[in-house]
Amino acid sequence: MELQGNIDNYEKWCSEWGKRFLTMDQEQLLHRIPGLEEEEDYLTLFYFHQKYGIHRATGEIVSFETPEKPSAFTRLNLYALLWYCKEDARFLGEWLPFRSLKDASPFGPAFQKSVIDVFAQTFSGHIQELELACQSLGGEKIAHSDAGYQIPAFACIPVRFLFWDGDDEFPAQANILFDRGAVDFIHVETLVTIASEGLALLSKASKRTLVGNTFS
């Protein structure tokens, strides 16, 4: 019953955000948000290498890749980008761990436990599977860590997934970095669910079950 209640709440929030979308100036959104395009009845954008559309007249979000309804988390993250993106938001080229972003520190311990630690435990001893999964999400290999990839969550919010495999002495380690300017594109709390969804997609693509306490 509790799970069903949570699902119903997320769907309620999505419905409210869909109505809020209809109050936004869509022409300004097209001007302000990198990667947002106009395509017939939809505004479209890519999220973790998948194309989505927001219906201009109803606010409903659909996937252009599959017939399935996008998850509530995905829809809420798309709405959040449209709502919170600032006029002067820009990529700053300074990569930071989540806890170092503006206003992120209260969420840092939970992010470490439910995202970073799960990331490390899930792919311990499985670098090849991780690399192939990152590539399937449009990731670009970077010269950091044993397996480091930069993956575009949104065109304006790239995410760096870093992984160091363990050995007989030390356990596997991981980190997830964001550009310092990410908080000007979207609310800092939403970056938690972006990282969580990215990790879930890596898990699905690699066929590795997430290990540990996750937000899901």
Q: Is there a single domain that holds both residue 117 and residue 173?
A: yes
Say yes or no: 194 and 140 in one domain: yes
| Final residue in a domain of this structure, among 45, 63, 84 | 84
Kindly state whether residue 212 falls inside one of the protein's structural domains: no
Clarify whether residues 110 and 134 are in a common domain.
Answer: yes
**62, part of any domain:** yes
pLDDT digits (tens, 9 = 90+) for 35-90: 999 999 999 999 999 999 999 999 999 999 999 999 999 999 999 999 999 999 99
Q: Are both 30 and 57 inside the same structural domain?
A: yes
Total structural domains in the chain?
A: 2
Contacts by residues 135-142 (CB-CB < 8 Å, ≥ 24 positions apart): 136/49, 136/205, 137/48, 137/49, 137/198, 137/201, 137/202, 137/205, 138/48, 138/49
Same domain, 110 and 192: yes
Kindly tell me if the per-residue pLDDT of 5 is higher than 80: no
DSSP state of 181: T
Tell me the residue range of the domain where 11 lies. Answer: 2-84
0.75 surpassed by pTM:
yes
What pLDDT shows up at residue 1? 31
